[in-house]
A and B are shown apart, each in its own frame.
Chain A
Amino acid sequence: MTFFRAENLAIQFGGLRAVDGVSFEVREGEVYSIIGPNGAGKTTVFNLISRIYDPSAGRVVFQERDITGVPPHRIAGLGIARTFQNIELFQNSTVLQNLLLGRHEHRRSNLFSEMLFLPHVRRMEVAHREKVEEVIEFLGLQHHRESRVSGLPYGIAKVVELGRALCTEPKLLLLDEPSSGLNPEESEDMAFWIEDIQKDLGITVLMVEHNMSLVAEVSDRVLAMNDGRVLAEGTPQEVQQHEAVIKAYLGG
C-alpha cells in the first residue's frame, strides 16, 4: 500500500501547462522534497494536492483513497496540513488564536452549544489548549504566545505557521519553502524541527524547497522538476548530480 501517490497530475492555465504529467509516490514516514528552478510548477503541485486547484488530468491518492474530488476544506480533516510560501496567517489574531484555529477539525460542538458555552464546549476548549501548548513547547514559541502575528518577525511567523499545521495533527505535512526568508541560523532550526517532526512525531513530510543544504540534510528522497515535468528522482546526492538537473539550473 502506498501512503501518498500523485498520478499523472496536470493542470493548464490558458495556454500554459504549469504541471504536465507529474507522478510520484511518498512512503509513510519519509521526508520527500520537490526541487526545481522558479516556475517549475512545484507550488502548483502543492495547490493541486491541497485541492485549491482542480487538476485537468490525473489523480491524487492518499492512503488508498482518491482525494481528487474532495472539497478543499475536507483535506485537513483527512490528515493533510500545509504551510504557504509567503505565510498565510491570521494577522490580527494572537499566536495562540492562530494555533487554536489549527484545531478546527477536532471541534466537537455545534453553533447552539457554543452560543450557550455549555460545559462540554469548555472542556473541549481546555483540551484544545492542552494540545496547542504541546506544539508551543515543541517549537519553543512560549514567548510569543500572546503576541499578535502582525507584529512578529518573519522568522517567527514562519514557525507559527508550521505550528498551526502541526495543531491539526496531520499524517502528511506539506511545507512550501519552509526556509525561504530565514537566516542561516533559523534555517538550521527549521532543519532540526523537520527531523523531529519526522522522527518524534512520526509525520510524513512533503516539502518544496530551494535551499539545497536543507534539502540534502533532511530529505530521504528528492524529486526535481522543470517546466511542469519531472526531471529526476532519487536520493539528494543522486539528484544533485543528475545531468538534466544541472542543465536545468545552470542552463546550456
Chain B
Amino acid sequence: MRFIFKTDYDQDIRLLKHGGHAFWYGLLLVAVLLAPVAVDDYYIGQLTQLAIFAMAGLGLMLLVGYTGLVSLGHAAFMGIGAYTEAVLLERGVPFLISLPVSAGLAAAVGIVVGLPALRLAGIYLAIATLAFAIIIEEVLARWESVTHGFTGMVVEPISVFGYELSEGADFYYLSVGLLILIVLMSLNLLRSPTGRAMVAIRDSEIAAQSTGIHVAKYKTIAFAISAGITGLAGALWAHKLGFLSPESFTVLQSIELLVLVVVGGVGSIHGAIFGAVFVVALPQLLAVGKGYLPTNVADAPGLEAGVFGLVLVLFILLEPMGIYGRWVKIRTYFSLFPLYKKASFKRQKTYLKSERLR
C-alpha cells in the first residue's frame, strides 16, 4: 500500500500524483507512440477508431458523468462535426482551419440544444436531445445541396501545407495526439473551479447555487464543451470513414456512445477510454465468436445490438461504476492484500434528501 506524505499543496493539484503514475503513463505513452512500428496497419486502423471514439465518449462523459445531464443525441454532434469538416474541405478550406471550425460549430449547436437543459432534467432532457438527434439526421438527409443527402459525400484527404497525411500512421498520430490534448484539457478543467462547479451541479443544484454557482451558465458551458469535443471527434471520424452518409449518425450511434460512457464507468476520464475499448472490441469479438455459433444464430439480424444491450443491462445491475469501477476494485484488492473486504465498496444508502425546492 502506498502512503503519500503531503508537504505541499501542489501535491494535491498536480496530475501525476506519484512515481507510479509517471512510470505507468509514461510506459503507455511509449507504447502508443511505438504502435505503428510494432503492429500492422489493420490494428493501427482499429486503434485510430478507438482514439476517435474515446474522444467522442469523453465529450459525452463530461456532460453525463460530470455534470449529470443525460444526452441521447450525441451522434448528432458527431454528425455536425463530420459534415462541417467534409463540406469545408470540399470548398477548399485548409484542414487547419476546417477542423477547429467543425468543433466550434458543434459547440455552438450544443449551446442551443443546451437551452432546454436549463429547464429539463433527467429523462425529459434525454427525450429532448433524442428529438434533436432525429432532427439533425433528417437535416443531413434532406439538405441535399450541401450534404448530398443519401448519395453521400466523399471526404477529401487531409493535407497540411502541401503534405498529405497518410491514412495509416500519420492519421493515427493525429488522432491520438488530439485525444491526449483533449484528455489533458479535461483534466485541467476538472481540477479548476469550472470542473468543480459542474460536479456540484450534478450532486446538488440548490447547494451549488448557494455557493455562488450560476447553474444555467455552467450547464450551458458543459453542453458547449461536450458538443465541441464530440464534434471534433466527428470531424476525425469523417476522415476515418472517408465517405459520409446520414446513416453514419443515427440514434443508434448516440445510444452506442451512451453505452460507452456507462460501461466504461460514469464519472471518470478513464471510463471514456475503457468504454471506447469496449465499443471497438466488441464487434471484433463477436465476429470471432460467430464462427462457433450455429448459423441461424450467428446470422440473426440485430445480434450485435442485442449483445450491446445485454452487456449494458448487466453492467448497470452488477457493476454500476463500469469497467473503471471494477478496475479500481481490483487495484484496491492487490494494494490492500490480504485485508481487502467486500464491504469496502458497498454503497452507503442515504435516506435523507432535502425537500425538493422546485
Which A residues are closer than 8 A to B by beta carbons?
Answer: 47, 50, 52, 71-77, 81-82, 84-93, 96-97, 100-105, 107, 109, 111, 114-117, 121-122, 125-126, 129-130, 150-151, 154, 164, 168
CB-CB contacts below 8 Å: B164-186 with A: 185
Q: Is the CB of B12 within 8 A of A129?
A: yes
Whether A77 and B10, one on each chain, are in contact in the complex, defined by CB atoms closer than 8 angstroms, is no
Given contacts A104-B193, A111-B189, A129-B12, 16 further A-B contacts (CB under 8 A): A52-B206, A73-B213, A73-B215, A81-B210, A84-B207, A91-B204, A102-B211, A104-B211, A116-B188, A117-B191, A125-B9, A125-B191, A125-B192, A126-B10, A129-B9, A164-B207
The size of the chain B interface, using a CB distance under 8 A, is 39
Out of A74, A75, A84, A97, which one reaches B199, CB within 8 Å?
Answer: A97
Chain A nearest CB from B321 CB (Å) reads: 11
A72: nearest chain-B partner, CB-CB: B209
On chain A, the residues within 8 Å of B215 by CB distance are: 73
Is the C-beta of B197 less than 8 angstroms from some C-beta in chain A? yes
Known pairs A90-B207, A101-B200, A126-B10; A85 contacts B354 (CB<8 A): yes
Question: What separation, in Å, do the CA atoms of A116 and B191 have in the docked complex?
Answer: 11
User: Are A76 and B207 in contact, CB atoms less than 8 angstroms apart?
Assistant: no
B1, chain A: closest CB distance, angstroms: 14
Q: Which residue of B lies closest to A176 (CB)?
A: B354
Distance to closest chain B CB from A122 (angstroms): 6
B191, B202, B210, B352: the one contacting A50 at CB < 8 Å is: B210
**At the interface, yes or no: B291 with Cβ under 8 Å from chain A?**
no
- Report how far A122 CA is from B192 CA in the complex, Å: 9
Contact, CB under 8 Å: B188 / A114: yes
Which of A89, A114, A130 is in CB contact (< 8 Å) with B189?
A114
Bound Cα distance from A154 to B12, whole angstroms: 26
B192 and A88: CB pair below 8 A? no
- Chain A residues near B19: list those with CB within 8 A: none
Q: Is the interface of B mostly helix, strand, loop or mixed?
A: helix
In B214-250, the 8 Å CB interface with A consists of 214-215, 221
| CA gap between A144 and B29 in the complex, in Å | 35
> Using Cβ atoms and an 8 Å threshold, which residues of chain A touch B189?
111, 114-115
Cα A71 to Cα B208 in complex, Å, equals: 13
Question: Distance in Å from the Cβ of B217 to the closest Cβ of chain A?
Answer: 8
* A92 adjacent to B357 (CB under 8 Å): no
Taking a contact as CB atoms under 8 Å apart, the answer to whether A82 and B353 are in contact is no
Given A93-B199, A105-B211, are A88 and B352 neighbors across the interface (CB < 8 Å)?
Answer: no
- Give the distance to chain B from A47, nearest Cβ to Cβ, in Å: 7
CB interface residues, B 97-148, toward A, < 8 Å? none
Contacting A at CB under 8 A, from B49-99, are none
**Chain B positions 333 through 358: 1 when the CB is less than 8 Å from some CB of chain A, otherwise 0:** 00000000000000110101111010
Q: Are the CB atoms of B206 and A88 closer together than 8 Å?
A: yes
Residue of A117, A122, A126 with most chain B CB atoms under a 10 A cut-off? A117
CA distance A85 to B197 in the complex (A): 22
Q: Contact at A101–B197, with CB atoms within 8 Å?
A: yes
CB closest chain-A residue, reference B10: A126
> Nearest chain A CB to B92's CB is how many angstroms away?
30
Contacts of A90 in B (CB 8 A): 199-200, 202-204, 207-208
Whether B211 contacts A168 by the Cβ 8 Å rule is: yes
For the complex, what is the distance from the CA of A97 to the CA of B193, rounded to whole Å?
A: 10
